[in-house]
Amino acid sequence: MPEDSGNKLTMVTCSAPVNIAVIKYWGKRDEELILPINSSLSVTLHQDQLKTTTTVACSRSFQEDCIWLNGKEEDITQPRLQSCLREIRRLARKRRSDGEADVDAAGLSHKVHICSVNNFPTAAGLASSAAGYACLVYTLSRVMGVEGELSVVSRQGSGSACRSMYGGFVQWIMGQQGDGKDSLAQQVEPETHWPELRVLVLVVSSERKPVGSTSGMQTSVETSSLLKVAYTFDAGPNAVIYTLQQNVEEFVQVVKHLFPPEINGGQFLKGLPVAPTTLSEELKQAIGMEPMVKGISYIISTKAGPGPRVVEDPSEHLLGSDGLPKESA
């Protein structure tokens, strides 16, 4: 990990993916520890299209812990942020006391500056908190010399973040223990398991969702007589479509037919390229709907991808040598 010997600044940058559950968890049996009422299964999406990037720096010159999200300084005292910071530091101290690592060089006793950005709309129901907390925990672990099972730590920031600690197809085991130590994520299959699978995110709105995931799930637990029987979207209005490569071109063309790009946002397709095709008149008649002015703003075309990774290029650090966000961040 790079170190500025003059300022004694240790800095690491990592990225982490979004995951979208196909078998969802819709509530918690313990709100404080974020323990789910059921196990869940997700697909980790490729970071080339959807990811969070986080830089963590530590130095003895820092007066306090600080965090910037998407260019804005946020409150570092938020309980879930503090849970992750506290647990990573505890694990780092344990490693040092057990003689497993010399973590003094990683600044265990120093304050940290954290800067994080998403390359997709935040708080719009696209699992930004999952990618964000997974990236935070993964980067902190690299700075402080923590190894081993980290999904239990990231779960304390955001439940679904534990699934973003792995690539491919991931299960979150609900666990049975009251302390939550057996509530963790495991990779079921790598991203190469199903190469024909494609994921299309139909972005209706990039605005902040009016009901947050936590309150939405809480309401479901308290009021739904069909919990885990009925299927539902993630929090937020955006639909996620799973299909095979052979169907992508026609499906995207159908969406373009119903929501013409020229009146629905212009740049309609982002991510993996999709070749244009022509719809048959028979299919158009079978759809039986006229083009709409409002609806799908754009489509993100992606696939299953890998888990968190270290960004090796120091020019991609989000923090400068002074420990403050670069202007471009």
pLDDT in tens, 146-184: 999 999 999 999 999 999 999 999 999 999 999 999 999
Do residues 12 and 55 make contact, with C-beta atoms less than 8 angstroms apart?
Answer: yes
Q: Where are the domains of the chain?
A: 3-191+307-316, 215-302
Task: Determine the topology of domain 3-191+307-316 in CATH.
Answer: Ribosomal Protein S5; domain 2 (3.30.230)
Q: Mean pLDDT: which of 74-78, 96-100, 203-207 is highest?
A: 74-78
Q: What letter represents residue 305's amino acid?
A: G
Inter-axis angle of helices 128-144 and 79-97, nearest 10: 30
Cβ burial 170-185 (10 Å sphere, 16+ → b, else e): bbbebbeeeebeebbb
Helix (H, G, I), strand (E, B) or coil at 304: strand
Helix (H, G, I), strand (E, B) or coil at 243: strand
- pLDDT confidence of residue 209: 44
Higher pLDDT, 1 or 111: 111
State the Cα–Cα distance between residues 49 and 272, nearest whole angstrom. Answer: 8
Identical fold at 3-191+307-316 and 215-302?
no
Tens of pLDDT, residue by residue over 16-63, are: 999 999 988 878 999 999 999 999 999 999 999 999 999 999 999 999
Question: Could you confirm whether domain 215-302 is CATH 3.30.70.890?
Answer: yes
Whole-prediction pTM: 0.87
- Does the pLDDT at position 198 exceed 60? yes
Query: Residue range 80-97: average pLDDT?
Result: 93
State the Cα–Cα distance between residues 125 and 129, nearest whole angstrom. Answer: 9
